[in-house]
Amino acid sequence: MRPGILFVVVGPSGAGKDTLIDAARGALGESGRYVFARRLITRPANAGGEDHEAIDDAAFEALERGGELLVSWRAHGLAYGLRSSLLDELTKGRHVIANGSRGALDRLARKVPRVVAVVVTAPRTLLAARLASRGRERPSDIEARLLRADLALPDGIESIIVQNDSSPEEGVERFLAALETSARRLFLKPVPIDGWRDHIAYIPADSIVGAGDYDGPSRVDITGDGRSIRARINIVEPGWLLEPDELGLSREAFRVLGLPADAQVTLSRTPPQHSRDALRRKVQGGELGAAQYEMLLRDIVEGRYPESEIAAFLVAATRSLTDAEVVALAKVRAQFATPIRWDEPIVVDKHSMGGIPGSRITLIVTPIIAAHGLAMPKTSSRAITSAAGTADAMEALARVDLTVDEVRRTVFDARACIAWNGRLNHSAVDDVMNAITRPLGIDSNRWSVASIISKKLTAGSTHVIVDLPFGKRAKLRTEVDARDLARLFEVVGRGAGLHVEAYPTDGSRPIGRGIGPALEVRDVHWVLDGHPDAPQDLREKALSFAARVLSWDPAIGTPQRGRIRAEELLRSGEAREALHRIVVAQGAREQPVRPGPLVHTVRARRSGTISEIDGWRIAGIARRSGAPQDKGAGIDLLRGVGDNINTGEALYMIHASAAAELDAAVEMAARDDGILFDEELVGGCLVESIRS
């Protein structure tokens, strides 16, 4: 028998944890598969709240010294603990449910085989109303309690979020589903029975998932490691073929699923009919509402649908999403993540659809805004196909993999941060969807808008500016495409309760000189320092966006006054000082990354006027030189569109840290250097090698 799971229920005050645990005790207590822990608390037994084991301070400390507590912690002037005897229950294969503390999760994970944090939460307004209804605290105390609530979990802790924002019955149903989703994990065993085309799964009558729940003609989904198969369940006698935590598959079903023996799999009932009706309606081109999307996405995240049906849904969604549906999706998707709350009247953010090499304006806009005093907790991505994302560039200066607590501290200290969004804006929906959309090449601007707005909601933003570059090699090809998307961003933002302004920008050429993390940071420093070599296109674009963001401050009011203020902050050096504060607060590198020491200069093979720079090709050469993994690798553009060039004149320099990477990038540039003269692509290049 494999050990059971320790479910630690956590969440802010007012989320309803005790209510859900009590209801689960009534629903699951007699199954024999679950044990409900009673916490030891140093307060009287009749003090209200949960049913706990009362103990005085001296006795509690004696249990701690004697090693009789599995874990203990202090909060609100009281001591809390769980008895070590719970380990015996876990060893017997029973699942233990305990009301716990986030601060104890790390220690528990080191002591028990498997810990799952069940995070119970609800919108802040609802939490406040529930706390007020208790009559124990003043409104100011309630507000302070909610502001202090920390929803972050330690790294590496498995978790499930339960939104307890509806009726008590709905909350209990979600809570039980969350427990069962984790507890249903079984271990795969091939069964030498040929079911031919009929996929058959076998569970013992004493299965840990409760065999009676799966008895009947309906089929189930068996999911593991990104694979899924639908099968019919047969129940076998206990102790004969399978252990209680094993699931058998007929020969053909085992082959089709393609997982090894003893792999962990999840057994899920096929989606309820109303969920399947919603999916079918969307596949047929119909319109869904917020409640239908919430139900459908929850079933998808919980593994109730096979990949083929999810793919069909996503293909349909890319073709027919109304504005109202995008708004609904944005709101629903935000419910699958833990939001960050700020005690600020205005919290600003910026997003770019990207795809333009060197356009690192975030590292200029953010310190300008911070120097002015507005809060800007900027979360940014790493590069996927480009030579650098904003997070890659910032990482050449400081840490970017910040926790929620570190983001809060950085914004408190420096008024802004520039952090990696992969750790902060994790989305269970994206985990499932990206696994399907990326291999199939499914892409939709409307789906992306819902995802982006949902992440801004999760980040606690109130005002968002969006950069929409367009050009024949950008993600958005024409200005019409960009204006249509700008309208959608603003409509969806308004529907989700955000102030969003979106602007089409010229994406026909790279912005700035540097392409690659360290080179782009150099350009940023040049702009912030007022250096004579600062790229003017980068400076101008950054000032334009900073001016619009500053106009949201009522004391500024207009983009014209915002521009004056932005230029003043640049000229005075306050913006440069603000970037330094952000870097220090996030954790500055001991030595900032410099451009790679190995350099090759790419020269023109003919004379003429540069008519175009192929940003996609240039970014590809920069990636081949090692960027963004090698922060010092990349390209330094020496000439721009409209420049007159003579044969042999330098076009750009390739930087690298490794000779093999440099040679590969030079070879790539020799085939096509990405510089077009007078409408004609240069057929080759002369290369001068400089190694220092």
Q: Give the pLDDT confidence score for residue 27 in this predicted structure.
A: 86
Neighbours of 203 (CB within 10 A): 26
pTM for the full predicted model: 0.64
Neighbours of 476 (CB within 10 A): 22
Query: 């009919």: which residue's tokens?
Result: 273
Backbone angles phi, psi at 353, to 5 degrees: -70, -10
Closest by Cα among 113, 90, 112, 118 to 176:
118
Closest by Cα among 510, 515, 688 to 595:
515
Contacts of 278 (CB under 8 A, 6+ apart): 288, 292, 293, 295, 296
User: Does the domain formed by 598-691 have CATH 3.40.120.10?
Assistant: no
The tens digit of pLDDT for each residue in 639-654 reads: 999 999 999 999 999 9
Sheet of strand 598-603: strand arrangement: 514-515, 634-637, 650-656, 598-603, 686-691
Containing 83, the helix (H) or strand (E) segment is strand 78-83
Q: Give the pLDDT confidence score for residue 689 in this predicted structure.
A: 34
In CATH, which of 2.40.40.20, 3.30.590.10, 3.10.310.10, 3.40.50.970 is domain 185-269? Answer: 2.40.40.20
The tens digit of pLDDT for each residue in 177-223 reads: 888 777 777 899 999 998 877 889 999 988 877 776 666 655 688 88
Q: Give the pLDDT confidence score for residue 145 in this predicted structure.
A: 67
Contacts of 652 (CB under 8 A, 6+ apart): 601, 602, 618, 635, 636, 637, 638, 639
Tokens of 585: 């607060």
Query: 């790294």: which residue's tokens?
Result: 155
Q: Give the pLDDT confidence score for residue 688 in this predicted structure.
A: 39
Q: Is 194 exposed, middle or buried (0-12, 13-18, 19+ CB in 10 A)?
A: exposed
Q: Is 141 exposed, middle or buried (0-12, 13-18, 19+ CB in 10 A)?
A: exposed
The architecture (CATH level 2) of 348-586 comes to 3-Layer(aba) Sandwich (3.40)
Average pLDDT of adjacent 10-residue blocks, the chain of 692 residues: 87 86 86 88 79 92 95 91 94 91 91 92 82 72 66 82 86 86 84 85 85 67 84 89 91 93 82 81 92 88 72 85 94 86 94 85 97 95 85 95 92 95 69 70 83 91 96 88 96 96 94 95 96 96 98 97 98 97 95 93 93 92 95 95 94 96 96 83 40 26
Q: Give the pLDDT confidence score for residue 358 in this predicted structure.
A: 79
Q: Give the pLDDT confidence score for residue 687 in this predicted structure.
A: 40
Q: Give the pLDDT confidence score for residue 692 in this predicted structure.
A: 24
Separation CA 473–CA 36 (nearest Å): 59
The reply to whether domains 6-183 and 185-269 share a CATH topology is no
Going from the C-alpha of 368 to that of each of 381, 462, 563, 634, the distances in angstroms are 20, 18, 11, 26
Q: Give the pLDDT confidence score for residue 427 in this predicted structure.
A: 65
Tokens of 156: 């590496």
Helix axes 445-458, 479-495, angle to 10 degrees: 40
CATH class assigned to 6-183:
alpha beta
Separation CA 22–CA 26 (nearest Å): 7
Separation CA 236–CA 254 (nearest Å): 18
Separation CA 445–CA 401 (nearest Å): 27
Going from the C-alpha of 94 to that of each of 6, 38, 661, the distances in angstroms are 9, 16, 54
The domain ranges of the chain are 6-183, 185-269, 273-320, 348-586, 598-691
% pLDDT > 70, the chain: 91
Task: Tell me the HSE value of 277 on the side-chain side, using a 13 A CA sphere.
Answer: 6
